[in-house]
Structures are given as C-alpha cells and as structure tokens.
Amino acid sequence: MRYPLAKLLLAFFFLIGSHEAVFAQDFPPAPNPPRLVNDFSGTLSPEEMAKLEQKLVAYADSTSTRISIVLLGSVGPYDISDYAFQLGEQWGIGGKENDNGILILAAMKDRKVFIATGYGMEGVVPDALAKRMINDLILPNFKMEAYYEGLDQATDWIIKLASGEYKAEDMVSEGNHGGAIVMVLVFIILFVVLPLLKNKKDNDNHMGGRGGGVDLWTTLMLSSMLSGGGRSSGNFGDFSSGGGSFGGFGGGSFGGGGAGGSW
Amino acid sequence: MKKFLMSIAIIGGFLILCFFLVYIFFNPIGTYNSFVQAEENINGQWAEVETQYQRRADLIPNLVNTVKGYADFEQETLTGVVEARAKATSVQIDPTQLTPEKLAEFQQAQDQLSGALSRLLVTVENYPDLKANQNFLELQAQLEGTENRISVARKKFNESVMEYNKSIKTFPNNLLAGWYGFAAKGYFEAAAGAENAPKVEF
C-alpha cells in the first residue's frame, strides 16, 4: 500500500471505463432520427412498423406521451425489467417534466416481454393493470406469433387508459424563434464586430501584441451570462433532436413501474 | 524599455498572485458546497429507497390476509414472512448515518424479508385456487412492481453514493473532506448470481 491514492484513482478509472464499455455494448443507441417503433430483431414487417409508428407518433403529438416499442433478440444476463428501465432511461423516453413515457420491450429469443412505465405514467397504468394487459392482450397473441396484433391491441389499450392525462406541450413556441435570432445576432456582434473595432483601435498604440485576450474574456463572460440567463436555453436540445416528427425522446425517467411476462 | 518590461512583469506577477489567493480562498468553499450537494442528492435517493421498502412492507399484511383465507396453507411460511417483516421494519437508518456497516445491517434485514416472501410465493404454486384468485394476482403484480422499484431505487442510490465517494476520496478533495468531516458512505451489494452470463443481442 505504498501509493494508496494512485491505486484509488486507477481503480476509479477502471470502474468508470468498464461501466461505459458495458453500457456501450449492451444497449443500442437511441435511434437517430428518433423513431418510436424499433425492431432490431426483424420480427415486424415494414408495413406493420409503419402503421404502429404512425399511430404512436400521432398520439405523441397530441398528448406528448411517448409510447415506444422495442423488439430485440435477447437481453442476455439482464432481467427484462431491469433492461427495460435502463434502456428507457438512457433513451429518455417521455418528457423530462412529466416523465410520461412507456416502453414496451420484447426479447424475442428469450420469449419475454415487459411494459415499463415512466414515473409520470405509474398512476395511469398501475402495475396490476399493466400485468393484466400483458396476460390478456400480449401473451395470447405472442403465443400465436401474432406479434403485430398483440402490440397493436396493447398500445390501443394504453392510449385509451391514458387519454386526457397529459396535454401536448407547445414544442417550439413563436417567441423562442425570435430569441434564437437575437442570440445569433448578439454572438455575431460579440465575436466578429467588436474584435474588429477593438483591433483597429489597438493598432494605433505601440504596445505590440493584438490585445485580443481581453476581447476573448469579455465575450466569454457576456456569452455565458446570456446563455445562462436566457429562458430559451432549454430548447437547444429540441432543435438538435428535431429530426423526428414527434420531437424526439424527451429525457423521461423510469422508476421501476410496470409488469412483464413470458410466452 | 527595460523599465517597461519590469513593470509588466511586476504587474503580471501581482495579478497571478491575486488569482492564486482568490482561488485558494474560494476553492474550498466551492468544494464544500459540492460535497453538501452530493450528500443531499444521496439523502434524496435514500428517501426513495426507504419509501419503496416501506411500500413493500405495507403490501404484506394484505398478502398475508389473502393467503390466510386458504385454511390449509402452511403456517410456517406465513409466520416466517410476518416475523421477517417485523424485523425489517424495525431496522431504520438515519440518513446522516449511512455508514457501510449500518447499510449492511439494513440490507440484511430486508434481504431476509425478500427470502421469506419468495418462499411464500413458491409455496403458493401448490395451491391452484389461490393462484387463480384475482385479489392474489393483483397483489402479486403490485409486489413484483415494488421489487422492481426497489432495485431501481437501490441502483440510483448506489450511483449517487459513487459520485460522492469518488469526489471525497480523490486528491485534493480528500484533504478537505477529512477536514470538514465528510466520510465515505456504504453501497447496496448486488445479489449473488448471474455467473453464466449470456450475451445481449439486439
């Protein structure tokens, strides 16, 4: 134990490194552009996927509640429930404020399925109801390899249960567009116009050097103040992920609600 | 010219000294605050863990009553659950005392209850009437959901403890942490098993 600190640091780096490696291998990255229906196992036909996607996107647009379906081969060493919560959390299914996401995860080779409810959906779809939905709608259909029908009926049922619970948030309001333009203008002035003016003045004295350091500092300070204080700061994420028609996954969180079964 | 350079050097040195002093003065405050924040975060996660364990404890009387209705049900298993529940609810931890030893004690009591509960659920397999009872099925679903919530809460608790422990054990924070009296906190241990780990397939 001659270098306890160094060992500790090493241990931590190892821990962090191995953690990330596990995450990277075991969980597919969130689809880009975002899609609600993701079939990694090749079970559903393209038409079936499109139909489900259309229904769920329409529902997400009108209520902001995201119901996502993921089919994959096997969850390996994970409990299907554990895998579902972690996947839902990593993708951020559901809005950040309401946590109103639902993930229907099926591992085709394990013949296991799980419905994970985000924090905000636990009241709408309590565990006992989720269990009943699994037992009554999904498992009987999945046993007959009617995967699309099972998923279609289950999502219909969730939509009926959750109707009226959350309203669509106005994704990008008019005012924020204006805010973005103003921000861009301010940036142009700070980074381009001001340095030009300053340099012109600096060249009059004979200090050598261009005196750019001060400019950099002021711009950095001002820009950080601006971006910190602006109320539109939270919306930049939405802009970047806005490729999908439903506005992307919203950063929702999962606390362990839901139920599962195997067929 | 030389004089000019000298004054530049003096002013520069003075500025660096000022920054250094300000840094020495403010850095501990920032570090202290970050410790406090990390600790608060842990307390929040701990409250969630306790809530979920409490939720499980609250479900048990209902479960026991439902099962009791079946006259020939093994009394041994039932009393095992009732006793383990009493013991588990008696072990409470003050959030300021989340030491590894205390946490191990808490976990042991709760794990005993988990064991007793799973024995009960296995025994139920021998009672087809009970297994078909709607009331029992709902309770079982709720119990499963609660177990899932417990494991998620424990995982999130462990993550926030790891953040905290990492921050108080690394240099130079470890010096300050010792000074202010921030001690490392305990983790929940993972359940045994999962030796022959299969592969994840997308």
Q: In terms of CATH architecture, what is A24-169+247-262?
A: Roll (3.10)
Residues of B whose CB is below 8 A from A256: 52, 145, 148-153
pLDDT of residue A54: 92
Please report which confidence band the pLDDT of residue A104 belongs to, taking 50, 70 and 90 as the band edges: very high
Per-residue confidence (pLDDT) for residue A71, from 0 to 100: 94
Cβ neighbours of B137 in A, within 8 Å:
128, 131
- What 3-state DSSP class applies to B188? coil
Does A9 reach chain B within 8 Å, measured CB to CB? Answer: yes
What local confidence, expressed as pLDDT, does residue A179 receive?
A: 62
pLDDT beyond 50 at A243: no
**3-class DSSP assignment, residue A115:** strand
CA atoms within 13 Å, Cβ hemisphere of A189: 8
Average pLDDT of the residues in A131-138: 91
Structure confidence at residue A192 (pLDDT): 75
Contact between B200 and A76 using a beta-carbon 8 Å cutoff: yes
- Work out the pLDDT band at A49, boundaries 50, 70, 90: very high
Share of chain A above pLDDT 70, in %: 67
Contacts of A41 in chain B (CB under 8 A): 202
Q: What's the pLDDT score for residue A18?
A: 45
Instruction: State in words which class domain B47-180 has.
Output: mainly alpha
Interface check for A90 against chain B (CB to CB < 8 A): the answer is no
Which pLDDT score is estimated for A105? Answer: 95
- Residue of B137, B144, B152 with shortest CB distance to A85: B152
Task: Identify the pLDDT of residue A145.
Answer: 92
User: What does the alpha-carbon distance between residue A208 and residue A195 come to, in Å, rounded to a whole number?
Assistant: 16
B29 burial via Cβ count (<10 Å: 0-12, 13-18, 19+): exposed
pLDDT tier at A53, thresholds 50, 70, 90? very high
pLDDT at A67: 92
User: Per CB distance under 8 Å, which residues of B are interface residues toward A?
Assistant: 48, 52, 137-138, 141-142, 144-145, 148-153, 162, 166, 169-171, 174, 194, 197-202
Q: CB under 8 Å, gap of 24 or more: what pairs does A143-146 form?
A: A143/A263
**For position A237, what pLDDT does the model report?**
37
pLDDT one-digit tens code per residue, B40-97:
999 999 999 999 999 999 999 988 888 887 767 778 888 889 999 999 888 888 888 8
pLDDT at A203 over 70: no
**Interface touch A259/B145, C-beta < 8 Å:** yes
Amino acid at A142: F
- 């410790």: which residue's tokens? B35
Give the pLDDT confidence score for residue B18 in this predicted structure: 84
Do B149 and A9 lie within an 8 Å CB cutoff?
A: no
**Closest listed residue to residue A208, CA positions, set B11, B6, B5, B12:** B5
Residues A40, A68: Cα–Cα separation, whole Å:
13
**Given a cut of 60, is residue A153 above it in pLDDT?**
yes
Q: Are A78 and A26 in contact (CB under 8 A)?
A: yes
**Measured CA distances, B125 to A59, A98, A225, B45, B71 (Å):** 41, 39, 64, 35, 16
Does A85 contact B52 at a Cβ distance shorter than 8 Å? Answer: no
Residue B45, both tokens: 């996660």
User: Residue A99: pLDDT above 60?
Assistant: yes
Asked if the model's pLDDT at residue A109 lies above 90, the reply is yes
Phi first, then psi: what are they for B107, rounded to 5°?
-65, -40
pLDDT band at A23 (very low <50, low <70, confident <90, very high): low
Which residues lie below 8 Å from residue B57, measured CB to CB, with a gap of 6+? B85, B88, B89, B113
Cβ atoms A263, A111 nearer than 8 A: yes
Q: Which two tokens stand for residue A33?
A: 């552009």
Best of A127, A129, A132, A205 to substitute, by most chain B Cβ atoms within 10 angstroms, is A127
B96 to chain A nearest CA, in Å?
A: 24
Please indicate whether residue A4 or residue B138 has the higher confidence score (pLDDT): B138
- Assess whether pLDDT exceeds 70 at residue A150: yes
Tell me whether A33 touches chain B (CB under 8 Å): no
Domain regions of chain A by residue span: 24-169+247-262, 176-232
**Sequence spans of domains, chain B:** 47-180
In chain B, which residues have pLDDT < 50?
A: 193-195
Instruction: Report the residue from B151, B162, B171 with minimal CB separation from A5.
Output: B171
**Tokens 């009059």, residue?**
A204
Identity of residue A197 = L
CA dist A171 and A68 (Å) reads 19
The pLDDT score that the predictor gives to residue A84 is 93
What per-residue confidence (pLDDT) applies to A11?
A: 53
DSSP structure string for A80-103:
HHHHHHHHHHHHT-SBTTT--EEE
Query: A with B: how many residue pairs have Cβ under 8 Å apart?
Result: 80
Q: Would the CA dihedral through B51, B52, B55, B56 be positive or negative?
A: negative
- Contact check, Cβ <8 Å, A259/B144: yes
Residue at token pair 């989340």: B98
| The pLDDT of residue A200 is above 80 | no
Taking a C-beta distance cutoff of 8 angstroms, is the pair A254, A116 a contact? yes
Q: Test B202 with A41 for CB contact under 8 angstroms.
A: yes
